[in-house]
Amino acid sequence: MEWLVALAGFAAMYVPLYWWAAGGIWQGEEHGHGSIILAVLIWLFWTLRGEINQLAVHGAPLLGWPPFIVGIATYLVGRTFDISILEFASQPLVVTGALLLLRGTAATRLAWFPLLYFVFMIPLPGILVDAITGSLKGLIANIVESLLYAVGYPIARSGVILSIGPYQLQVADACSGLHSMFSLSALGTLFMYLMGPKRKLHLALMLAAILPIAFVANVVRVVTLVLVTYYLGDEAGQGFLHGAAGMVLMIVALGFFFLLDKALDRFLPEPERAPATT
């Protein structure tokens, strides 16, 4: 019964937020990963529901009430002043508090990954985006120009404008890599979680490689868009194939994650366990 009350309260708070995001920010390329993150979170909590529900009812009110109250307050401030970042940011606090109140610290230990994964649903602050996007766009444009020029394509660059053949393309904010790095970081951490327990050095190297892999995958994406435009025209580059390039980004990144994981498994094998003694 207590879970139904908790779920009803969570739905009353956040379903309107999800509905607004589905018709708004999740429609754009910058925050389009939000709906995917929500689906992943639902699946993660669903797979843990049995283990959490079987835990003994040992709530931890001294630990549970502070994050729950702070989460509710954060949500109310965001709701009152229409600050979606605060509304989204309140989710892990509210859920952590609810789990502590209903099942204690054992529940939060079981659900540590989905609780942290809520972070990837929080929209990036505009100030941060504006501060980083400009330099990233210039760097990506420079790399793409150098790569294609080196293999013989008639390409030139002026700032973030790439000219190839009769076409000009601007490396826009959505192609700067910041938002894709954020979404690919979510993909990378999920990949690490699903791969199961690994050595600490293995996990550290995988974690350190997330942002470089995301950056390289984004360069591949921009190269793909430039070549599509060069061979098929501006309409193809800005139309359906532009969206398909986002899928290329995910496939390339996932491929890099998989290859790195396999390489680390080979060079950093799990240590052999000593045989049990009797």
Write down the catalytic residue from 49, 103, 221, 273: 221
pTM of the model: 0.82
Write down the catalytic residue from 157, 175, 199, 273: 175
pLDDT (tens digit per residue) in 75-111: 999 999 999 999 999 999 999 999 999 999 999 999 9
Q: Which two structure tokens, joined as six digits, stand for 234?
A: 């501006």
How much of the chain, in percent, has pLDDT values that exceed 90?
Answer: 44
147 class by beta-carbon count within 10 Å (0-12 exposed, 13-18 middle, 19+ buried): middle
Band (65; pLDDT cuts 50, 70, 90): very high
> How many degrees, rounded to 5, is the angle at CA 51 between CA 265 and CA 98?
110
Higher model confidence: residue 262 or residue 70? 70
Q: In this structure, is the dihedral angle defined by the CA atoms of residues 242, 244, 248 and 249, taken in order, positive or negative?
A: positive
At residue 269, the pLDDT reads 67
SS3 state of residue 137: helix
CA nearest to 13, candidates 87, 89, 92: 87
pLDDT (tens digit per residue) in 109-147: 999 999 999 999 999 887 777 676 667 888 888 999 999
DSSP 275: P
For the question of residue 175 being annotated catalytic, the response is: yes
**From CA 209, how far away is CA 109, in angstroms rounded?**
26
Q: Is the separation of the CB atoms in 185 and 214 below 8 Å? A: yes
pLDDT (tens digit per residue) in 209-254: 988 888 888 888 888 888 988 998 877 667 655 556 667 777 888 8
For the question of residue 221 being annotated catalytic, the response is: yes
Band (274; pLDDT cuts 50, 70, 90): very low
pLDDT (tens digit per residue) in 150-198: 999 999 998 888 999 888 888 765 555 567 778 888 888 998 898 877 8
Q: In this structure, is the dihedral angle defined by the CA atoms of residues 122, 125, 128 and 131, taken in order, positive or negative?
A: positive
